[in-house]
Structure 1
Amino acid sequence: MDDRDEVSRLLARIALRDAQAFEALYRLAAPRLMAVALRVTQDRAMAEDVLQDVFVTLWNQSIVAAPGQHRTQAWLCVVTRHRAIDVLRRRKPEESLHGRDEFGEEQTYDVPAEGGSPMEQLLADEADVQLGRCMGTLEAEPKRALLLAFYEGLTHMEIAARMQRPLGTIKAWTRRSLMRLKGCMEALA
């Protein structure tokens, strides 16, 4: 049996929801179809998406050839190529951050900062300074317990074990320290 008959036979079985036929078609055609998609898209991830889309369509839409017509591997290659071209057409073009204005001078376009506006960054920095001042008012051991809880993510029991202090003491230090920090931050605001 040649390739043309095998692909047609497998597609007919896939139309009947035969999972083994689908797997056999994938093993037979996927490497060549991946090569076609990759040649068109020039991007491996995009080519993999195209290949997946082609096979999902083959499974979901019973594509059976008309009488006297054969669906061959060449036909699958054409379908894959067209699907890859469609994906490229739908993709939004990337804008260059560099360009030339009407006078021929090179221009660079700004990209929004990820950290927020300058005012938001200033307020955050100011809050960090205030928090540092307030942390400086805490006693050494309660401060260490608080830092272990928030910066290392330790539980009260883990902090008690590490600092070799009773669990109740750690809980009290953490609660009192948080209340002092809140009061201090409110006073500075």
Structure 2
Amino acid sequence: MEDRDEVGELLARIGLRDAQAFETLYRRVAGRLMAVALRVMQDRAAAEDVLQEVFAALWNRADRAAPGQHRTLAWLCVVTRHRAIDLLRKRRPEEPLHWRGDDGEERVYDVPADDASPIDQLLALEGDAQLARCMGELEPEPRRALLLAFHDGLTHPEIAERMARPLGTVKAWTRRSLMRLKGCMEAVA
């Protein structure tokens, strides 16, 4: 069975309160999710808190999946990353994720790794050439806006500033790009 099918099946069983499925899912994906949380939080204890919250939410809300929602390891990574960013913003509301230090150097909490980008890692992990093909169908600027939002964790105003585009344009690009990706991905599913 493929990882993506196995994760979806385990999550469905967790929705039925199957503790063995929960334990199996934890053993299979906790390390990967911890790496995602640690990358954002830059603090092991805080990353462990994120992981605990993600798994608690999975146990408490696994039965509330939207109909037709494909829950895969990639989905779990995105959920973990978003939860980490939420906690980081709550803990340091006075510090943005990107800022310029006193020495003039640009600082980032979510520092890019020397290895493949997270989207590349997820593509390799999931073996999902379909997502790569669908991303390739997007126009360059909307694709860049989407990657800045989901890869770099930038807000719409931050993307608009970085790309020197109007805020409304950036919002439209990300929304339309997500809708096109969803349609493209569902066409194969």
Q: TM-score range by the shorter chain?
A: 0.3 to 0.5
Q: TM-score under structure 2 normalisation? A: 0.47
Q: TM-score under structure 1 normalisation? A: 0.47
